[in-house]
């Protein structure tokens, strides 16, 4: 699985989208799956930069018809989607929840966490 580390800057989300496209387009995962993966990685990287304020290690893999995206940061704070009646900001995890087939958070002791999601490839 290819992994790239991005700096804790909002501009990293754009670089992460390009990374996802470079990795997945040659694998012919389908335009819908590619678009979803790019949107999801934007949310995961943006959340890590805004909330963890740490570098983000991004891993993307296409296995058995599933695209798995993992974003690792240095924070152990467990993110959760906001309530439906919450303000219009901070809805990134709602997008992750709605656009992915599966998602979760794996806290890794005191060294950080991995927020991951999966999308079905075409």
Number of domains in the chain: 1
Angle at 110 between CA 109 and CA 115, to 5 degrees: 65
What is the arithmetic mean of pLDDT over 47-66? 92
Q: What is the pLDDT of residue 122?
A: 85
- What does the pLDDT look like over 3-48, one tens digit per residue? 999 999 999 999 999 999 999 999 999 999 999 999 999 999 998 9
pLDDT at position 87 over 60: no
Give the tokens for residue 50. Answer: 């805004």
pLDDT at position 78 over 70: yes
42 touches 17 (CB < 8 A): yes
What is the domain extent for residue 105? 3-120
Could you tell me the CATH number of the domain that includes residue 75? Answer: 3.30.565.10
């Amino acid at each position: 699985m290819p992994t790239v580390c991005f700096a804790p800057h909002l501009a990293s989300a754009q670089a992460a989208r390009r990374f996802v496209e470079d990795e997945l387009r040659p694998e012919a995962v389908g335009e819908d799956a590619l678009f979803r993966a790019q949107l999801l990685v934007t949310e995961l990287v943006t959340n890590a930069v805004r909330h963890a304020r740490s570098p983000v290690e991004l891993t993307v893999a296409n296995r058995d018809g599933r695209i798995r995206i993992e974003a690792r940061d240095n924070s152990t704070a467990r993110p959760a989607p906001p309530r439906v009646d919450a303000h219009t900001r901070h809805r990134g995890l709602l997008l992750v929840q709605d656009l992915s087939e599966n998602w979760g958070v794996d806290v890794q002791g005191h060294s950080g966490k991995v927020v991951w999601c999966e999308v079905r490839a075409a």
